[in-house]
Chain A
Amino acid sequence: MADLGVMAILLGMALSAYSVIGSVIGVKIEMPALVVSARRALYMTMVAAFVASGALIAAFVQNEFAIKYVAEHSNSVMDRAFVWVAFYSGNEGSLLYIVLALSIMSAIAIWFAPKRMERSMPWTIAILAFVQLFYFFVLVFFASPFELIDIIPEDGRGINPLLTHPGMFSHPPMLMGGLIAITIPFAFASGALISGNYADDWVDVARVSAILAWGVLGAGMLIGAWWAYTILGWGGYWGWDPIENVALMPWLVLTAFIHSIMVQKRRGMFRMWNVALLNIAFVLAQLGMFINRGGPVVSVHSFASSTLGIIFLSFMLLSLLFAFGLFLWRMPQLKSNRAMESFMSREAAFLVNNFLFLAVMAVTLWGVVFPLFSDLARDVSVSVSAHYFDRANGPILLGIVLMMGVGPLLPWRKSSARSLKRWLAWPLIFAALTVIVLVALGVKRPIAILSFGVVAFTAASIMEEWWRGTAARHRSGDNWAMAWWRLVNGNRPRHGGYIVHLSILMLGLGIIGTNFYQQRTDGALALGESLVIDNYRIEYIDSDSSSRSDRIAQWADMSIYRIDPADYADEISFARAQGSDGFTLKDSTRRPNDRLIGQIQPWHGFYTDFNMVSVRSGIRSTIVEDLYVIPRDFLADGRISLAVSINPLAWWLWASGPFFILGTMVALWPQPVLERRPARSENKIRAMATGDL
């Protein structure tokens, strides 16, 4: 398999090199046949990438430990399902995966590209092929997954234990695929610029491919957060780790892009701006690849490899020079042919939203580089982690959520103060009521109350839009469900966007709840003992263990009871006096109002070859709060050491996922031809106007 794989990546490199050269020369000497053959060569790189990937997967399936990559990332007892994960779990394999993903996406994009883009296609193909060439080049010369070892080991080292989780089937491929997918819209826009096709032909295809990249990247990050929540055993889901940040930054810029590209599509404005956004997103994606592979920043989960660092840094700088050189060269031709009419227009709101997204991106980038900066400037090492990012980015993110409520209420071009007031009234009333109710319920923490208010405002503004639009259609004869469906169907980009906005609000609820109201306690329990936190009692019933050649696993059976704090008044006041939020009980006898509400099985595994611990937290989840039990350690004296937390609203974090994907798909679904109806009342005009982005 190694020989086949090596041949395939060599062939892939040759084909992509041919595709670059063929496209460029073919256009320059005006030889259409050469251009066509270059295009076909790009299709063939996909075949080469498929063969190489197939060879590596086959090597995993057959346990070919003569191949170093296979020996280092799998073993004979590994569950076969994880072959797919093992494929991209290391540096070399993940590079092969990236080139596979890019070649498939390139082929699809070229195949479906609209005919009117014929003139710029050779340049688009040359850019796509060049990026593929780079990855094949790295695979061939610096990071071959098919390298052999001299002494063939009896068994492999096994897969990294942290990766044996269902989330890992989709999180890394989606993240890497999403990052590299940014190449597609970038190549279309740049191709159009080089060829001197300044019309907006590239807008539709760039928008669709950018939304795809954005959706995949966003869903990948969410799945990664879920993975971290269930397996990493620190009770969190987003750590502002450098690797997470480098995936977030291009996603933020793409978010700005998929908003502002609508302005270009609808109003012919922001042309320079949109190209610049794509350029920034592409360069940031390359920055991500660089930091992931031996960049200068420490992270929990990167592929440390110092030799590759400099290569990826060079490619990132090359991307930067190319993208912005091209931009400056063609800038004069990108002038908008329309002007802004009012601050109170959707165009203006989109521009403000764009700058807010860029601000989060820039602050994040600043946080990532500040330790380097401090090292260089004064030789003092500092750390920048979640504690910084939460505080620096939190307010801007809240501002974005607020804009999410205001922006869609503004029509294109301009609006009157009167109509805006009318539209803002209900969301503002609802937000005010939310705040009043929260304060009345005794919720403390002004920032959290403010955040809930903003989320309520934005949710109400989306609901108001849907309500008015649906009601208008209902009055003209449709039943409610049909009316809403017609409304959404009438303008999918807009209403798909609203569904995504709702998912972001759900995410926001989870973030606010877990950040501001998490309760935690630590404790160690012997069999039969209980730990009490808030109105939960967790009783340690039983433990069990199993060992395999690569790991020793232990797990505990625990019962969760809902308690009445009055039954435990003495213990609670004693714990409070000591400054603790929870306490342990030697005697687990049930008290009158204890009610069994669930069972959990926290799991703790030690992987000898990796000298690494991997845990599965015991989670009891409801839409109000999660009870989250981390088994920190099984102690020598038979006790289990636990970190327990109550994570309010954590369920909403994961519930947002399906809505995010649904909204993205609705926005992407090809737009049907709109039926026009005569407008009757002002309300209806407004409903139709808003039903139509």
Chain B
Amino acid sequence: MASRLPFILIGPRALLAKPAAILLVSMTIAIFAATGCIREDDLTLEQRSHQLAGQLMCPVCDAQTIDGSNAQIAQDMRVKVRELLDTGITNAEIKEYFVTRYGQEILAAPGGSGFNLIAWIVPFFITFGGIGIALLTIRNLRRSNARSAELAGGGPGVTTGQNDLAEYLAQVDIDLGISSSSASGVAGPEKPKSNDEAGS
């Protein structure tokens, strides 16, 4: 039953055009939802102290967290983290404790508010922007397929004569490909040679 769910998601023909997008979006939502499910009290104090140690930088080392460093101050800070945890305060409060003493730099990742929010928003835009561009490109390429004859002449800086021929040959290839695909499959090495003659 569970395996049918994705079929329902991508089932209707109208949606079929974007299965990759839908899968990705739903997966990302699931991941973000899942991230919220882990609560601090599911972890032992020791697990939390290691987790926190991985989120605090060693102030005297280059690009290392106190978790990874053997420097004296890193060891002291690890002990301090554990002491603070034993008093029963939250992870956020412990981080705040170190930030007030060492500044923002002590955090292994920028905090999630104010200016630092940019650090977290940009990846989101990059990812969805990237996927969006990819899907738009595919759509445009498909449109140009439908109206290839018009576009071939209209593109800026395109030397028309050769490209018309190229488009034509490409179309012939495509047509042949479709008609022959049921007979022998799309197997066999395509000869890029035919494009070269047309393209160069």
Contact = CB atoms under 8 A, between A and B. Distances in A.
- The residue in A265, A343, A366, A689 that gathers the most chain B C-beta atoms within 10 A of its C-beta is A343
A579 B86 contact: yes
Contact of B108 (A344, A383, A522): A383
Chain A, interface size category, equals 35 or more
Interface string B27-45: 1101111110110001011
A391 B104 CA distance: 19
17 contacts: A235-B68, A239-B63, A242-B63, A268-B199, A355-B130, A355-B131, A366-B122, A366-B126, A382-B110, A383-B104, A383-B106, A383-B109, A406-B23, A413-B174, A425-B3, A454-B27, A674-B187
Given A362-B126, A384-B110, A580-B45, A234 B186 contact: no
Given A381-B103, A383-B106, A424-B6, A413 B192 contact: no
A468 interface: no
B44 A198 contact: no
Given A344-B16, A402-B24, A339 B63 contact: no
Contacts of B57: 383, 385
B42 A444 contact: yes
Binding site secondary structure of chain B: helix
A377 interface: yes
A386 B31 contact: no
Contacts of B131: 352, 355-356, 359
A617 interface: no
Given A337-B163, A343-B20, A356-B131, A428 B6 contact: yes
Nearest to B32: A395
Contacts of A161: none
Contact of B3 (A351, A429, A689): A429
Contacts of A417: 13, 16
A590 B1 CA distance: 50
Given A268-B195, A402-B24, A447-B34, A341 B185 contact: no
Nearest to A234: B68
A425 B38 CA distance: 31
Given A335-B155, A343-B17, A446 B37 contact: yes
Contacts of A582: 46
Given A199-B199, A337-B167, A383-B108, A268 B45 contact: no
A319 B18 CA distance: 37
Interface string A434-451: 011000000011110010
Contacts of A201: 196
B110 A388 contact: yes
Interface in B1-26: 2-3, 6-7, 13, 16-20, 23-24
Contacts of A367: 119
B158 interface: yes
Listed from nearest, the 10 A-B pairs whose CB atoms lie closest are A579-B45, A339-B145, A340-B141, A446-B34, A234-B68, A388-B109, A332-B157, A337-B166, A355-B130, A199-B200
Contact of B85 (A386, A519, A579): A579
A378 B61 CA distance: 24
A692 B187 contact: yes
A199 B196 contact: yes
A439 B85 CA distance: 30
Nearest to B140: A340
Contacts of B19: 343-344, 406, 420
B14 to A, nearest CB: 11
B134 to A, nearest CB: 4
Given A351-B137, A392-B123, A406-B20, A691 B107 contact: no
Given A268-B195, A359-B130, A370-B119, A580 B46 contact: yes
Contacts, number: 291
Contact of A298 (B20, B63, B195): B63
B93 interface: no
A337 B34 contact: no
A481 interface: no
Contacts of B33: 446
A242 B62 CA distance: 11
Given A203-B192, A337-B198, A581-B46, A382 B6 contact: no
A580 B44 contact: yes
A633 interface: yes
A689 B185 contact: yes
Contact of B126 (A232, A359, A382, A685): A359
A632 B53 CA distance: 15
Contacts of B103: 380-381
Interface of A: 197-201, 203, 232-236, 239, 241-242, 265-269, 298-300, 332, 335, 337-344, 347-349, 351-352, 354-356, 358-359, 362-363, 366-367, 370, 374, 377-378, 380-388, 391-396, 398-399, 402-403, 406, 411-413, 417, 420-421, 424-425, 428-429, 431-432, 435-436, 444-447, 450, 454, 519-522, 576, 578-582, 613, 632-633, 674, 676, 678-679, 685-686, 688-689, 691-692
B100 interface: no
B54 A676 contact: no
A689 B27 contact: no
Contact of B50 (A349, A412, A520): A520
B27 A399 contact: yes
Contact of B2 (A199, A403, A436, A685): A436
Interface in B117-143: 118-120, 122-123, 126-127, 130-131, 133-135, 137-139, 141-142
Given A344-B16, A392-B120, A428-B6, A386 B54 contact: yes
B89 to A, nearest CB: 13
A692 B187 CA distance: 6
Given A332-B155, A391-B35, A432-B3, 12 more contacts: A200-B195, A235-B68, A298-B62, A300-B62, A337-B199, A338-B174, A340-B138, A396-B123, A402-B24, A421-B7, A581-B44, A581-B46
Contacts of B42: 444
B113 interface: no
Nearest to B145: A339
A266 B23 contact: no
Contacts of A234: 64, 67-69
Contact of B174 (A235, A341, A354, A454): A341
Contacts of A382: 104-105, 107, 110, 116, 119
Interface in B140-196: 141-142, 144-145, 148, 155-158, 163, 166-167, 169-170, 173-174, 177-178, 182-190, 192, 195-196
B200 to A, nearest CB: 4
B70 interface: yes
Interface string B49-74: 01000110100011111011110000
B50 A341 contact: no
Contact of A356 (B46, B130, B145, B195): B130
A197 B123 contact: no
B47 interface: yes
B123 A348 contact: no
A201 to B, nearest CB: 7
Contact of B123 (A267, A354, A366): A366
Contacts of B37: 446
Given A300-B64, A395-B31, A450-B27, A363 B123 contact: yes
Given A236-B68, A339-B145, A692-B187, A385 B109 contact: yes
- The residue in B2, B32, B110 that gathers the most chain A C-beta atoms within 10 A of its C-beta is B110
Contact of A363 (B70, B127, B167, B200): B127
B17 to A, nearest CB: 5
B135 to A, nearest CB: 7
Contact of A387 (B27, B55, B115, B169): B55
A501 B148 CA distance: 36
Contact of A383 (B46, B105, B189): B105
